[in-house]
Amino acid sequence: MSENNAPAQNDATNPIFQIQRLYLKDISLEQPNAPGIFLTPGEPTVQIQIDIQYGHLNDGLYEVIVVGNVTTKVGEKVLFLVEAQQAGIFELKNIPMEQVEPMLAIACPSIIYPYLRSNIADLIGRAGFQPVHLAEINFHQLYEERMKSTDQGNNSGIILPN
């Protein structure tokens, strides 16, 4: 049996991408027109907005937040409004600087988003409504669209179709 005598890779130069923690940062549900809205006839309409925020914490640690807002109306009156922030702390070390932002805007939200979807659907269901299931998001496409719109001076979150 032969032993591998190859020199060990220096851990100080190996790229590191690790999830340190995933957590629900904030969530709220408001029913500003209850109970009268329950007696209002009409089909509810749903508007969903998703946004991504991220920032540097310290040595190689970053916080990434996926923000979701769900507004459901009957006519012009709000039936319910959900605002949620699902977050994560990620360790990124020895990664070229030009790759850090795409990782924070694509890879990290892709990990966080399923938790946001679940928490929003659960909260809406617990409030007595039929759960709203957020659509899957291609964060790579969203990132590319944001880069194009930033170049054109427009920087806003995505609004998902009903």
Task: List, in sequence order, the alpha helices (H) in 3-156.
Answer: 97-102, 108-126, 139-151
Q: Provide the percentage of residues in the chain whose pLDDT is more than 70.
A: 85
- Binning pLDDT at 50, 70 and 90, where does residue 161 land? very low
C-alpha span between 100 and 62 (Å, rounded) = 10
| CATH class belonging to 16-127 | alpha beta
pLDDT digits (tens, 9 = 90+) for 4-18: 554 445 567 899 999
pLDDT digits (tens, 9 = 90+) for 44-71: 999 999 999 999 999 999 999 999 999 9
pLDDT at 19 over 80: yes
Residue 129 half-sphere exposure toward CB, CA atoms < 13 A = 25
Please state whether the predicted TM-score (pTM) of the whole model is above 0.75: yes
Neighbours of 96 (CB within 10 A): 7
Report whether 67 contacts 50 (CB < 8 A).
Answer: yes
Mean pLDDT of 69-75: 96
Q: What pLDDT is recorded for position 154? A: 54
